[in-house]
Amino acid sequence: MQMVVDSVNPLIARVDKALDSMRPYLAADGGNVKVLDISDEGVVRLELMGSCGSCPMSAMTFKGGLEEAILRAVPEVTRVEAVNLTALP
């Protein structure tokens, strides 16, 4: 069973807050990130939006920025996945 994105869900709010530290950098390149859902097992699914969805550096941004920020700020999260990562060339 999965928890759907809900503005009253405190876990999603904490994940969003962790992502807020990265959003200015994403926005500078015309992108953003959205939390799609969080499973009962603590798996966060993200969607990279705008230019981030097609950027060849999105895998590095995801691993070195987004995933790290979430795992550091929200210890209940066990894994972070992006539904639309662009593979490195």
Q: Is the pTM of this model over 0.85?
A: no
In this structure, which amino acid lies at residue 9? N
* Band of pLDDT at residue 8, cut at 50, 70 and 90: low
Instruction: Give tens-digit pLDDT for 14-60.
Output: 999 999 999 999 999 899 999 999 999 999 999 999 988 788 888 88
Q: pLDDT grade, residue 5 (50/70/90)? A: very low
Residue 63's pLDDT is: 87
Burial of 18 (0-12, 13-18, 19+ CB in 10 A): buried
Contact 34, 49 (CB under 8 A): yes
